[in-house]
Amino acid sequence: MSSCRMRNRWMGSVAALVVTALVVGGCSEDKAAAPEPVAWTKVELPAEPVVLSGSGEQLLVGMRDRSAKVVPRLLLLDGERQQEIKVAAKSPYAFEAIWYSIAYDGRRLVALGGAAGGAHSNTRWTVWTGTTTTALTEHPQEFNTFGGQTAGALYSAVITPTGQALLGSWGSSTSGLDAAVWLPTDATGTKWTRQDSAGTALSSTPSLLVGPSFGTTSGKAIVQTGSQVRLAPNVVQQEAAVWQSTDLNQGWNRVALPEPGNRSQGVTAACAATRCTVSGYADGKLAIWQLDGAAKRLRNVPDITIGDKDKLPPPIDDNGQLIQIVADGNHVKVVSGQDGGPWTVRDSTGPAGTVKDARLIGRTLYLVAGPADGPAALWKTDLS
């Protein structure tokens, strides 16, 4: 064999080794860069979890027991201790109600339930109040309190230091639906009355339709998120928005969230101290905004598809580090980071399917998740 041919063969072998080393090295770096999955532990419960609430070191789990005479159930978790709270249903639809929202401030409870009924299977709403040391009792309301030809939907129960409220929508006197607030007429919440939204930031106009769909609190204020739709000749523009009061149902202000893209929606929100975080979507992708005086859209949020009907649990603000749990396909992902990055997306071991609710209690993160067509489960993981 000539020296030239030997030299060419040797050089080819070296080149192949270099390429192989680069490929192996690249794979090793990719594997090293992939964060460890979040390991979740299933929490055994006496019934299917539906919604979460909490205060301090206590977690409240609203449950659904399909085989029981009273379908809605309520469980208090305090560390490893589980205590069932008595649920007292009064009206027929209350016995079948599914929890939509439960508010708890460490002492008082306000809950919103709903069950399909009537000729058109419309949701029949039920309101419940009480404490964890006595019971959560339903208070039947007149039909027109939540129902009728101009009725909309209800979505959140809230408690502030100055009162309690139910949030929803109602037919506007001008255009579409107004955002609506119901307040109790007495301290026990026996009777509830819808407040007039006309002339406030909660009312729709011929050129602007309001559409909040989730509510929470920040001190004495109620904070709602959803979207507003601007109407003009040849223009229909849906933008994520926030509505915030100054004290319970007083002093409403509307804020259009910045960088809304072509179509956006605020899906859920949570407030910590003076800062509120809103999670939703813009142009079909996960979007997160924060309000601390001015509103801003957070930068470099991971590119995760969020559909119109996808649920997003409330964002978790862990001392400035944000945590947002999402369902990406059938996989549960834990997104964490802060404005501008870095952001991390971690897979999960344990839960799969859709994500429905989440709460941080102490250093334990709780999650309700499960298949879209099957019962959900409660999961927990400890944050480092």
Over residues 55-64, the pLDDT tens digits come to 999 999 999 9
- Residue 30: which H helix or E strand, with range? helix 3-33
Residue 352 has pLDDT above 90, yes or no: yes
Lowest mean pLDDT among 19-23, 202-206, 211-215: 19-23
Residue 119 has pLDDT above 80, yes or no: no
Residues 253-276: what's their mean pLDDT?
Answer: 96
Q: Classify residue 19: in a domain, yes or no.
A: no
Cα–Cα dist 65/49, whole Å: 9
Residue 5 has pLDDT above 50, yes or no: no
Cα–Cα dist 336/323, whole Å: 4
Helices (H) then strands (E): counts for the chain? 2, 31
What are the beta bridge partners of residue 276?
Answer: 271, 291
Residues 47-54: what's their mean pLDDT?
Answer: 98
Name the nearest CA neighbour of 147 among 169, 172, 128.
Answer: 169
245 shares its domain with 321? no
195 shares its domain with 123? no
Residue ranges of alpha helices (H) inside 43-126 are: none
Residue 33: predicted pLDDT: 67
Residue after which a domain boundary falls, among 274, 308, 337: 274
Q: What is the DSSP letter of 314?
A: P
| Tokens representing residue 74 in the block | 């309520």
Q: Classify residue 219: in a domain, yes or no.
A: yes
Q: Classify residue 192: in a domain, yes or no.
A: yes
What are the beta bridge partners of residue 316?
Answer: 323
Residue indicated by tokens 């609710």: 357
Residue after which a domain boundary falls, among 140, 172, 189: 140
Residues 227-231: what's their mean pLDDT?
Answer: 98
Residue 11: predicted pLDDT: 36
Residue after which a domain boundary falls, among 109, 140, 171: 140
3-state secondary structure of 16: helix
Q: How many domains does the chain divide into? A: 3
Domain hosting residue 76, numbered range = 48-140
Residue 317 has pLDDT above 50, yes or no: yes
Number of residues that this document lists for the chain:
384
